[in-house]
Amino acid sequence: MNIFISLILVIWTIVALLMILLILMQRPKSEGLGAAFGGGVTENIFGAQTTTVLTKITGWLAGIFFVLTFTLSVLYAHKGRSESALSRELKNAPAPPPAATATAAPNNAAPAASPAASLKPSDQAVGVVPPASAPTASASPKP
């Protein structure tokens, strides 16, 4: 997989450099940077219709560049989904014990029954809300 990605990166770099070169060789209508390389050189190499030849080659290279970019993004995403040693270790680790409840009853008071415990099982299944009850007094002996 890594060799395939490296090979595509090399081709991608070559295509990008060729695109840069061809874009700089083209003669714009305002005779900008394309004239710096000499307009006659490209006409001697490709003939009188250099603008159409260079435009077609640039279009094909741009298409190849986008296809290679998309392929690289898919390959990198697939490579990132592969399971690492750390993820395997985390999956095999035992689950932590459940957390203890934060409300602890005082030593001398009995724990109060929950309001849901006073409901019938059929009421619990339907979702009946129990009525609010008055706070119960603790049964602590007076001195």
| Residue 10: per-residue pLDDT | 95
Q: What is the mean pLDDT of residues 88-97?
A: 75
- Contacts for 16 with CB less than 8 Å, ≥ 6 apart: 65
Contact indicator for 79, 1 with CB cutoff of 8 Å = yes
For 42-81, the pLDDT digits (tens) are 555 655 555 678 888 999 999 999 999 999 999 988 887 7
Q: What is the mean pLDDT of residues 86-103?
A: 71
The residue extents of the domains of the chain are: 2-28+40-82
pTM of the model: 0.46
Torsion angle in degrees (nearest 10) through CA of 122, 124, 126, 127: 160
- The CA distances from residue 52 to 18, 23, 42, 114, in Å, are 17, 12, 12, 84
For 97-140, the pLDDT digits (tens) are 777 665 555 555 555 555 555 656 665 555 556 666 555 555 55
Burial class (CB in 10 A: 0-12, 13-18, 19+), 18: middle
Would the CA dihedral through 42, 44, 50, 53 be positive or negative?
A: negative
